[in-house]
A and B are shown apart, each in its own frame.
Chain A
Amino acid sequence: MRSIRLGAGAGYSGDRIEPAVDLATSGDLDYLVFECLAERTIALAQGARQTDPDAGYDPLLEQRIRAVLPAAFGNGTRIISNMGAANPLAAARRIGGIARELGLSLKVAAVTGDDVLDVVKSGNWPIEETGGHVSDLGDRILSANAYLGAAPIVEALAAGADVVVTGRVADPALFLAPMIHEFGWTVDAWDNLGQGTLVGHLMECAGQVTGGYFADPGKKDVSDLARLGFPIAEIRDDGEAVITKLSGTGGAVTVGTCKEQLLYEIHDPAAYFQPDLVADFSDASVEEIAPDRVRIVGGRGRPHNGSLKVSVGYNDGWIGEGEISYAGPGAVARGRLAIEIVRERLAITGVAVSEIRADLIGVDSLYPGASRGEPAEVRIRIAGRTRSQAEALCIGNEVETLYTNGPAGGGGASKTTRRTIGVVSVLIPRERAQPRVEMLEVTT
């Protein structure tokens, strides 16, 4: 029975880098996988690429690759990542440049073809969330990227890539691809693919399965979170897997951490839609077989439905925010008065705010009605949606003027504006997306 070792080097774009270096150095890994592409990131990255044809990949790509590449390459660990974002080809060239500087001869593969903007613009596809159609978005559409499956990554690995960099690919597929490549699972080995997807899903958020995002002191204690170790999956060719981490690192791998991650961002556990299959986690089980070693079995699968999900990013205007704090007796009442004043000021001055939200941080900002009693201090926050940045700025300005025009004792005002990218989903026939693999060879 063959087995391989996969590590997760990042669970999101801004993740810590040292745990990945530890894995590259001491993990004895066959593959190190970095999941770095959030839902709206690609739309922002498309904007960056439009102003600079060499931009549009992950902003931490350079730092991350430079940190892990020497050890990974030296240990024969291949790297897979979606850090290509809106520009996998430019990302591959940059990785090639870093390799050259480091004196490493290797092959970097770029997976493209997830960009289906032309396909989406050429048809009036129904929007899943709104019941409307793509045409409703008009010229506000910024990007359309299909969630590709494992196949092009498998192709790149078969062609000998040391590093594979992709754009939009389903997160678990980044991990499923090396299993398919190593174990020769066929495209209709549904239960193997389902189990592999389950393992990929457990790994894709990196530290979230090793005790990150888990601690609740007194109920769920986790040691040494400042040195949290990222996960390793030991996978057998029948799919059975053990989730573990490097000894000496912080965190913990337990049935509890694995169960939380198993259900994370899952809807119907029996129907987890992926580009390669419909995965079924409903019969999965987890078992601790040793400290920090949890065995995962029971993932299954069945044929995909012939469609690919496409994330469509569109220009959604601006959000303006302002905050200010009140303390001591009557803080909540002064905060409420401050909110009323800002609402009235926005009306008086005629700022076009299409949607507004006001929070008393410490009272009701995370959940309405959660408050119990009067806090010693409170921070008000007002956020509104506008068409332009100038209007968005007015919201923060009205909060700031509370200093000299509002209730007593307000302090610490701050204001921000930010562009918002809306994201909606459409389904396209899978043959409308045509993944491609381009190989870059670096010789020194």
Chain B
Amino acid sequence: MKLRDVAHSRTGDKGNTSNISVIAYRAEDFPRICEFVTEERVRTQLAGLNPARVTRYELPKLGALNFVIEGALGGGVTRSLALDAHGKALSSILLDMDLTPS
């Protein structure tokens, strides 16, 4: 099972920092998402970006997590050489995470 099956997501950017929300479709899935989608696993999922730091914030009333990923955007939208200079595609990459423990 993929994270995409139980959650949706949107990416934002501020300078060289990306934030990626992870929002449970159903409240009953939120505890499992909290347990599984840790800072460590997000760092592994986004290892290709070589982020400086990953921080997780929890919003239980919304059934949501917010990941703040520093140093992930090649200098930020105004100067990045990346095709997706905002890092807008990162929410889709995160939702590709496998939720089945390996």
Contacts and interface: CB of A to CB of B under 8 A. Distances in A.
Nearest to A255: B62
A158 interface: no
B53 to A, nearest CB: 11
A282 B93 CA distance: 26
A49 B28 CA distance: 55
A220 interface: yes
Contact of B59 (A256, A264, A269, A369): A269
Interface residues of A, number: 51
Interface string B41-63: 00000001100000101010111
B81 A366 contact: no
B30 to A, nearest CB: 12
B81 A319 contact: yes
Interface stretch (A109-117, A353-361, A401-409): A353-361
A266 B21 CA distance: 9
Interface in A370-385: 370, 381, 383-385
Interface in B1-35: 4, 8-10, 12-17, 19, 21, 23, 25
Interface in A270-296: 270, 281-286
Task: Give the interface size class of chain B.
Answer: 35 or more
A385 B78 CA distance: 12
Interface string B68-82: 100000111111011
B61 A264 contact: no
A421 B80 CA distance: 11
Contact of B12 (A216, A265, A269): A265
A366 B89 contact: yes
Of A40, A262, A270, A425, most buried by chain B (CB within 10 Å of CB) is A262
B64 interface: yes
B40 interface: no
A283 B61 contact: yes
A284 B63 CA distance: 11
A422 interface: yes
A268 B83 CA distance: 27
B93 A316 contact: no
A114 B68 CA distance: 28
Interface string A417-444: 0001111110000000000000000000
Contacts of A369: 48
Given A263-B66, A283-B61, A423-B78, A219 B8 contact: yes
B19 A265 contact: yes
A267 B62 contact: no
A264 B21 contact: yes
A188 interface: no
Nearest to B21: A263
A266 B12 contact: yes
A270 B61 CA distance: 13
B4 A219 contact: yes
A260 B10 contact: yes
A365 interface: yes
Contacts of B61: 283-285, 298
Contacts of A261: 10
Interface in A11-68: 39-40
Contacts of A298: 61
A265 B93 contact: no
A129 interface: yes
Contacts of A256: 8, 23, 25
A368 interface: yes
Contact of B8 (A216, A262, A286, A423): A216
A384 B81 contact: yes
Most buried by B among A259, A365, A381, A420: A259
Interface string A124-151: 0000010000000000000000000000
B90 to A, nearest CB: 7
Contacts of A316: 78-79
15 contacts: A40-B77, A129-B16, A259-B62, A259-B63, A264-B19, A267-B17, A267-B57, A268-B68, A270-B57, A285-B61, A316-B78, A356-B81, A359-B82, A385-B81, A423-B78
Interface of B: 4, 8-10, 12-17, 19, 21, 23, 25, 48-49, 55, 57, 59, 61-64, 66, 68, 74-79, 81-84, 89-90, 93
